[in-house]
Structure 1
Amino acid sequence: MGTVVVTLWADLLIMRVIDDIRDQDYDRVADPQRPVASGAIQLRELSTLTAACVTVIVAANLFFHAGMVVIVGQLLYAAAVLAVGRRCPATRGDNLIVNLLIGVPVQLLLFVYLFAAFTQIQHEAPDPYVGALGIVILTLCAGQLEFGKKLARRPAIGERSYTNSLGYPTTSLLTIGSGPLAAVLFVVAAPASPLAKAFVALPAIGVTAFGIKYLRQKGNRWPAAVSALGLLGTLVAFAVVGAVG
C-alpha cells in the first residue's frame, strides 16, 4: 500500500510539472500568476524536482517489477509528449480534443499500474475482466476532473475551455455525469460486497449532488477542486476496498 501511495503522489507531481512546462506560453497570457509563467520557479528547479520524483518512484518499485515496467513506460511516454510539444506547437494544448487524445495513454498506464498493484496486494492472478472494468471506471472518474477543470458557461476570450469545443451542455454532462456512470458500472458489474460498492460510490454521489446545486445556481465556472476531490476519493476508496477486501 505504501508503495502505491508514494508512487501515485510522485507520479502525479511529475505530470503536474510536465503540464506546467507545456502550458507556460499559454499561462503567460491567460494566467501569468502561475509559478512557471511568472518566473517564480525556474525550469532547472522543475528538472531537479522531476529527477527526485523519478528516483523515489524507482526506489519504491524496486521489488515490484510489473509495476516498474508500467510506470516507467508511462513516464517515458509523458517525456516524449513534452519533447514533441516543443517541436510541434499543435500538440501543446490549444486544441483540447487533440490534447485529450494525447493524454489518454498517460492516464491508462497509471490505471494499469494501480490494477497491477491491486493484484499484488490481493496475491491473486490478474483477472482481465476485473482489470478492464477497473480501468474504464477510473477513466470515467478522471474524465470528470479533465472536463471540470475546463468548464465555464462563459469562457474568457482566448481561454482553453471544452465549452468552446463541445458546447456548455455537453461539457457539463461529461463533468457531472462521468463519476455517477463509473459508480453505476462498479455497482452493477464489480464482484464486490454491497458495502464496498456503496463506499466506492460515495465520492461520485457527492460530485453529483454538488453538480445539481451548481446547475440550479447557474454558476459560470465549475470548481475544479470538486472534481479533484471526487477522483481522489474514488482512488482512496478503491485502495481501501482492495486492501480490506
Structure 2
Amino acid sequence: MTGRLRRIGRFVSGSFPPVPSLLLASAWAYGVTGLFAALDPHGTRWRPGAGTAVEAVTVFADLLLMRALDDVRDLGYDRRFHPGRPLASRAVRAGDLGVLYAAGSVAVLALNAARPWQAALLAAQLAYGAAVLAVHCRWRWPPGDRLLVNLLVSLPAPVLLHAYLYAGYLHAAGHAVGSFGLLAIVVAVLAAGHAEVAKTITRAPRPGERTYAASLGLTGAVALALAAPALSAALLAALSQAPPAWTAAAVLPSAVPAVAGYRFLRGRTRWPPAAPALHLLLTFTGYAALGLAR
C-alpha cells in the first residue's frame, strides 16, 4: 500500500502539479459559478460561500481523475512523444491509476452527498469517463489520431462538470432551471475548447504527432483556435446582466489568443505554449469578477 501511494504521489507531481492545478480548479469553480450569476436575468447579489469551496475541491479532484484516465488512454502516444510522464516512464502503473480513480470517485461523491442533484451529475460524468476509457481499451476507438472525433466523444465530460456547477448555483440562489444556464455552459465550453485546439498547433509536426491541423489543415486549426474564444466573448458580452464596464473587462482575456495567434502567424513554429492556460485562468477570473459585480 505504501508503495502504491508513493507511485500515485509521483503521478500527481508529474502529471497534475498540485499548486497550479488547484489555482486553475478554484478559478474554474468560482469563475463558472460567477458566470451563471452574471447571465441570470433573475439573479440577485451573488457571493461565493461554503458550497462554492466544496465545488472548488470537487473540480480539483475531478480534473485529477480525468487526467488519470487521459494518461491511461494516451499511454502509447506518451511513450513516444512524452516519455517523461509518470505512466509512460513507469513511475506509476495503470493499476495504481485505477485505484486512484475508484477511490477518488467515492470521495468526491461522498463530499457532495448532501446535494443529490450535484452528486448525480458528478456520478454521470465519472461513469461516462470510465466508459469512454473502457471502450478505448477494448476496441481502440476512437483512434488517438482522430482528434475531432475524440473531441466530440470527450465533450460530455466538461459539459456535465459545468452542469454540476450550475446545479450548485441554482441550489444556492433558490432559482429554477433557465435557458441562461445552457448559454453560460456554451460560453464556458467554448473558452475552454480553445486550449484543447491551440496546444496542438504547429507548422512542423513530428511524424505521428497529433494535431488538429491533420484534419482541418493549418489554416483551419488556427481559425478554430481563434474563433472559439472570440465567439465565447461575444456571447458573454451579449448576454451579461452585469454593468457594461465590468462586462467589457471580462471579455479582455480574449486578447490573449489573439496575440498568440498573431505571433504564430508571424512565423513561430508552434503556438505559444503558455498562452492557452493563461487565457483560461484570466477568463475564469473575469467570470468571477463579473458575477461579483452583478
Contact 1:24 1:37 in 2 (8 A): yes
- Mark the runs of 5 or more structure 1 residues left unpaired by the alignment: none
| Deviations 1:155-194 (CA, angstroms, capped at 9, x unpaired) | 1111111111111111112112311220111101232222
Secondary structure, counterpart of 1:58 in structure 2: helix
RMSD: 1.9
Tell me what 2:84 maps to.
33
**Aligned mate of 2:150, from 99, 103, 112:** 99
| Deviations 1:111-140 (CA, angstroms, capped at 9, x unpaired) | 212222222333322222x11211111121
**Aligned mate of 1:227, from 264, 270, 276:** 276
**Aligned mate of 2:191, from 135, 141, 152:** 141
Moved beyond 4 Å, runs of 4+: none
Please state how far the C-alpha of 1:52 moved relative to its aligned partner: 4.0
| Fraction of identical pairs, as percent | 38
Alignment of 1:7-156 (within 5 A): 7-128=58-179, 130-156=180-206
Contact 2:121 2:163 in 1 (8 A): yes
**Aligned mate of 1:202, from 252, 259, 262:** 252
Structure with higher helix content: 1
Tell me what 1:157 maps to.
207
Paired amino acid for 1:2:
A
TM-score, length-normalised on structure 1?
0.90
TM-score, length-normalised on structure 2?
0.76
**Aligned mate of 1:181, from 231, 249, 260:** 231
Alpha carbons of structure 1 residues 243 and 74: separation in structure 2 relative to 1, 3 Å = farther
Paired amino acid for 1:165:
S
Tell me what 2:27 maps to.
none
Paired amino acid for 1:49:
L
| Deviations 1:53-99 (CA, angstroms, capped at 9, x unpaired) | 32332133122222111111011001000001011113242211221
Secondary structure, counterpart of 2:275 in structure 1: helix
Contact 1:7 1:56 in 2 (8 A): no
Aligned pair count reads: 243
Alpha carbons of structure 1 residues 121 and 197: separation in structure 2 relative to 1, 3 Å = farther
- Mark the runs of 5 or more structure 2 residues left unpaired by the alignment: 1-51
Instruction: Return the structure number with greater relative CO, CA threshold 8 A, min gap 6.
Output: 2
Task: Give, in whole Å, the separation in 1 of the partners of 2:107 and 2:287.
Answer: 23
Alpha carbons of structure 1 residues 199 and 155: separation in structure 2 relative to 1, 3 Å = same
